[in-house]
C-alpha cells in the first residue's frame, strides 16, 4: 500500500457521513451475514442518538476511515446510559476492500484512546458471534467476553456477546487521533 492509498482516520462530520454509516452497515451485513432491514434500523437509531448528542456532549465521538477519497470504515464512542464511567464502542465497520491492513484495529484504538483520554473507566461493546474478524480485534485490544446470550434478531439466530475493556489496566493513551 502506497502512502497515497493508506487509509486515514478522521472525525465524522462531513456531509453524507451519517447516511453512509447506515447504508454501509445495512448493505454489508445483509450480504455477509444475511441480516434483514431490522439491523439497518438499529444502526440508524444509533446514528440518530449520536447525532442528537454529538454537538452537546464532548464524551461522544465518531470517526470515519477514508482511502483514496472513499469512506471505508467507521467507529463510534458514546457514553453508556446506565453508567457514566463506561464508554460504549458502537458500529465498527471496515468494508471488505479495505480489510487486512490493520484498519479495524486502528479504528478500535482510536475509540479506546478517546475514551481513556476522557477518563472513562471502561469500554463496553455488544456484538454477535458471526463477526469473527471483529472479535479477534477486540480480543487483541484486551477486551474480555463478559456475557453471551442467544437471541433471534435481524432475521437470523445469533449469540449476542458483550465485551469489556478495563482502561485502568491499559497504558496511557498516546493522544487523540484526527
At 1-26, the pLDDT tens digits run 565 578 999 999 999 999 999 999 99
User: Please, what are the domains in the chain?
Assistant: 3-169 (3.40.630.30)
* 41 alpha-carbon distance from chain centroid: 16
Q: How many CB atoms lie within 10 A of CB 92?
A: 20
Pure H helices in 89-158: 103-117, 132-140
DSSP one-letter code for 89:
E
DSSP string, 30-57: HHHH---HHHHHHHHHHHHHHHHHHTT-
Share of the chain above pLDDT 70, in %: 92
Q: What is the mean pLDDT of residues 73-90?
A: 96
pLDDT of residue 177: 43
83 pLDDT more than 90: yes
34 pLDDT more than 80: yes
pLDDT of residue 47: 97
Helix (H) / strand (E) element for 27: namely: helix 17-33
Taking the C-alpha atoms of residue 166 and residue 1, their distance in angstroms, rounded to an integer, is 34
pLDDT of residue 118: 95
pLDDT of residue 176: 44
Q: What is the mean pLDDT of residues 81-103?
A: 95
Tell me: the pLDDT tens digits for 97-153? 999 999 999 999 999 999 999 999 999 999 999 999 999 999 999 999 999 999 999
Q: What is the mean pLDDT of residues 148-175?
A: 87
- 116, HSE (Cβ side, Cα atoms, 13 Å): 19
178 pLDDT more than 90: no
Instruction: Lowest mean pLDDT of 77-81, 90-94, 117-121, 165-169, name the range.
Output: 165-169
Amino acid at each position: 500500500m502506497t502512502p497515497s492509498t493508506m487509509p486515514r482516520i478522521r472525525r465524522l462530520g462531513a456531509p453524507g457521513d451519517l447516511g453512509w454509516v447506515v447504508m454501509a452497515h445495512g448493505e454489508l451485513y445483509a450480504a455477509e451475514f444475511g441480516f434483514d432491514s431490522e439491523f439497518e434500523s438499529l444502526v440508524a437509531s444509533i446514528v440518530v442518538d449520536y447525532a442528537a448528542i454529538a454537538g452537546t456532549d464532548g464524551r461522544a465521538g465518531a470517526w470515519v476511515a477514508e482511502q483514496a477519497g472513499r469512506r471505508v470504515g467507521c467507529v463510534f464512542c458514546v457514553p453508556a446510559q446506565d453508567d457514566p464511567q463506561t464508554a460504549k464502542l458502537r458500529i465498527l465497520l471496515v468494508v471488505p476492500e479495505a480489510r487486512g491492513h490493520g484498519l479495524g484495529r486502528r479504528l478500535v484504538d482510536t475509540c479506546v484512546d478517546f475514551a481513556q483520554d476522557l477518563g472513562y473507566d471502561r469500554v463496553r461493546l455488544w456484538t454477535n458471534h458471526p463477526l469473527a474478524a471483529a472479535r479477534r480485534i477486540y480480543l487483541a485490544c484486551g477486551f474480555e467476553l463478559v456475557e453471551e446470550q442467544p437471541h433471534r434478531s435481524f432475521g437470523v439466530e445469533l449469540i449476542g456477546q458483550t465485551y469489556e475493556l478495563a482502561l485502568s489496566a491499559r497504558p496511557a493513551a498516546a493522544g487523540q487521533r484526527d
